[in-house]
């Protein structure tokens, strides 16, 4: 797409409730172009867009996320609405989104923030109807995210909702207050676990 003339088209199609035409238009865009279109929309348009857009478009958007800033852009559109965020996650695909988030963790890891310590961290992510389990293996200054429970005993287990995981990774949720108010629950090695929210670069 050479320009953002599609933005006006998207707004018009949302207003006209023309789901088929909207899906056809959005399917032609790259992940970067979809993000640019979303940035130009009013947040009030987001629920209607989410209802009409094809799930494949949202998967393209999720698979193209590469920075906390790109994740934050979506959260800004959704506002502080957990139901709206859950709706987005469900339509894009829970596994698709969480796989992407945990794959990116390794690229944003700051080993000095955990004092060079090693350990396997299990993450329990609450979504409507089920808890998704992932683990992050921290060793030798690197972190690798994987789907499924830790192969052995996890050093620390973190439990949070899917919207709060996205907020944490986008840098809009402060880890320490989240522990204090119960948004993030911690089990196992408490000292090591308390370092984890600050162990990933959420800038950019």
Please tell me whether residues 149 and 74 are part of one structural domain.
no
Tokens of 12: 């018009």
Q: Which residue has the higher pLDDT, 162 or 47?
A: 162
Per-residue pLDDT tens over the stretch 150-204: 999 999 999 999 999 999 999 999 888 898 899 999 999 999 998 888 899 998 7
Torsion 81-65-158-173 (CA) sign: negative
39 within 8 A of 76, measured Cβ to Cβ: no
Q: What is the pLDDT, as a whole number, of residue 85?
A: 93
131 within 8 A of 97, measured Cβ to Cβ: no
Per-residue pLDDT tens over the stretch 73-106: 888 888 888 999 999 999 999 999 999 999 999 8
| pLDDT at 3 > cutoff 70 | no
Tokens of 93: 């695909």
Query: CA-to-CA distance for 168 and 159, rounded, in angstroms?
Result: 12
Q: Does residue 204 form part of some domain?
A: no
Q: What is the pLDDT, as a whole number, of residue 10?
A: 58
Tokens of 158: 């973190």
Give 47's DSSP letter.
Answer: H
Per-residue pLDDT tens over the stretch 26-35: 777 777 777 7
Q: How many domains does the chain have?
A: 2
Q: Which of 103, 136, 160 is the last residue of a domain?
A: 103
Please tell me whether residues 66 and 131 are part of one structural domain.
no
User: What confidence category does residue 22 fall into, taking pLDDT thresholds of 50, 70 and 90?
Assistant: low
Please tell me whether residues 88 and 127 are part of one structural domain.
no
Q: What is the pLDDT, as a whole number, of residue 11?
A: 60
Q: Which of 103, 120, 145 is the last residue of a domain?
A: 103
Query: CA-to-CA distance for 53 and 63, rounded, in angstroms?
Result: 16
Q: Which of 113, 85, 138, 89 is nearest to 198 (CA)?
A: 113
Domain that includes residue 142, residue range? 112-198
Per-residue pLDDT tens over the stretch 49-61: 788 788 888 888 8
| pLDDT at 149 > cutoff 90 | yes
């Amino acid at each position: 797409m050479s320009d953002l003339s599609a933005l006006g088209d998207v707004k018009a199609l949302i207003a006209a409730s023309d789901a088929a035409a909207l899906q056809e238009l959005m399917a032609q865009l790259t992940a970067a172009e979809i993000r640019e279109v979303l940035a130009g929309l009013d947040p009030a348009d987001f629920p209607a867009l989410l209802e009409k857009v094809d799930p494949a478009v949202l998967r393209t958007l999720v698979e193209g996320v590469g920075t906390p800033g790109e994740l934050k852009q979506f959260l800004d559109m959704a506002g502080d609405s957990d139901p709206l965020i859950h709706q987005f996650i469900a339509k894009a695909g829970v596994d698709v989104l969480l796989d992407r988030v945990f794959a990116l963790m390794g690229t944003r890891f700051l080993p000095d923030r955990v004092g060079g310590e090693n350990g396997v961290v299990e993450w329990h992510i609450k979504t409507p109807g089920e808890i998704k389990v992932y683990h992050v293996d921290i060793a030798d200054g690197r972190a690798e995210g994987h789907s499924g429970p830790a192969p052995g005993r996890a050093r620390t287990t973190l439990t949070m909702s899917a919207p709060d995981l996205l907020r944490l990774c986008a840098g809009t949720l402060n880890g320490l207050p989240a522990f204090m108010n119960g948004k993030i629950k911690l089990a196992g090695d408490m000292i090591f676990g308390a370092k984890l929210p600050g162990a990933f670069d959420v800038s950019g």
